Amino acid sequence: MKTVFHSADTRGHANHGWLNANHSFSFASWYNPDRVHFGALRVLNDDIVAPSMGFGKHPHDNMEIITIPMEGLLRHQDSMGTSSVIKPGEVQVMSAGTGIQHSEFNVDKDHELKLFQIWVFPRAKGVIPRYDQKEFDPIGRHNKWQQIVSPNPDDEGTWIHQDAWFHLADLDGGKTLDYTLRKPGNGVYLLVIEGTATVNGQALGKRDAIGITEADNFNVAATSDTKLLLLEVPMEW
């Protein structure tokens, strides 16, 4: 097993007033040659959007985009005709494919919107753009992995055009959880959303992350009540 530790305070940071963003990987004006991507995982942004503010209409292509709201309500509109509100407990997937335009805004006039936005390189370019949104019962991740993204439309959760599997878990302090990778050669990028945990002897705090490669399985030990985001992605594609 090989690991790389990314502490929360080594992420890129940009505060635009209406948007306070932390970047796990190079994004916009922040560039770190050692943190451009982790395999097919290109972007992991931890965003706070001010009340009634957001991203105006802008284009994407040939990227799988996954959005996970943590607090607040996100209004999404796109060139496919989709108009939807995404709330905590739901996951949004957008396959940009041949090209799409969309906007994202904080619906609430009084409270901030907090979300994770994730970009994954697809296994094939030029797919037909598509949109999906699904709600997940939090009970399904209490002391276990809850699959929220996979490559298979018939599998649990949403799906994307890549051999990637995403999971959430809410662990009670003292609990240990094993994870077995779904595909040989894949790696895992594990982010602590809240709480503290250890992986392979590495202590992790809030928003710390660890990249794991050359492993078939590993375990996570929660040293306090802990929320986890696990992203399994191909290291080559």
Q: 59 with 169, same domain?
A: no
Q: Is residue 1 part of a domain?
A: no
The percentage of the chain sitting over the pLDDT mark of 90, rounded to a whole number, equals 100
- 180-206 residue pLDDT tens: 999 999 999 999 999 999 999 999 999
Cα–Cα distance for residue pair 182/85, rounded to 1 Å? 31
For the residues 149-173, what does the mean pLDDT come to?
97
Q: 211 with 100, same domain?
A: no
The pLDDT assigned to 82 comes to 93
The pLDDT assigned to 138 comes to 97
Q: 126 with 210, same domain?
A: no
The percentage of the chain sitting over the pLDDT mark of 70, rounded to a whole number, equals 100
The pLDDT assigned to 174 comes to 98
Q: Is residue 7 part of a domain?
A: no
Local structure of residue 184 (DSSP, 8 states): T
Q: 18 with 91, same domain?
A: yes
The pLDDT assigned to 40 comes to 98
Q: Is residue 3 part of a domain?
A: no
Q: 75 with 158, same domain?
A: no
Q: 47 with 66, same domain?
A: yes
The pLDDT assigned to 4 comes to 98
Q: What is the CATH number of the domain that holds 226?
A: 2.60.120.10
**Structural domains of the chain, count:** 2
* Residue 25 CA: distances (Å) to CA of 22, 40, 116, 191: 9, 12, 13, 13
Q: CB of 35 within 8 A of CB of 24?
A: yes
Q: 166 with 70, same domain?
A: no
The pLDDT assigned to 32 comes to 97
Cα–Cα distance for residue pair 197/27, rounded to 1 Å? 27
Q: How confident is the model at residue 236 (pLDDT cuts 50, 70, 90)?
A: very high
Q: 75 with 151, same domain?
A: no
Contacts of 76 (CB under 8 A, 6+ apart): 67, 82, 83, 84, 85, 86, 92, 102, 103, 104
Q: CA triplet 40, 46, 49: central angle to 5 degrees?
A: 135
Q: CB of 68 within 8 A of CB of 116?
A: yes
Q: Is residue 175 part of a domain?
A: yes
Q: How confident is the model at residue 132 (pLDDT cuts 50, 70, 90)?
A: very high
The pLDDT assigned to 123 comes to 96
Q: 125 with 142, same domain?
A: no
- 24-52 residue pLDDT tens: 999 999 999 999 999 999 999 999 999 99
The pLDDT assigned to 186 comes to 98
The pLDDT assigned to 211 comes to 98
Q: What is the DSSP code string of 22-73?
A: EESS-BTTB--TT-S-BTTEEEEEEEEE-TT-EEEEEEE-S-EEEEEEEES-
Q: How confident is the model at residue 21 (pLDDT cuts 50, 70, 90)?
A: very high
Q: 36 with 119, same domain?
A: yes
19-23 and 41-49 beta bridge pairing: antiparallel
Q: 25 with 112, same domain?
A: yes
What count of other Cβ atoms lies within 10 Å of the Cβ of residue 77?
15
**Across the strands, what pairs with 66?**
93, 118
Q: 86 with 115, same domain?
A: yes
The pLDDT assigned to 109 comes to 95
Expressed as residue numbers, the domain containing 95 is: 12-135
Q: What is the mean pLDDT of the chain?
A: 97
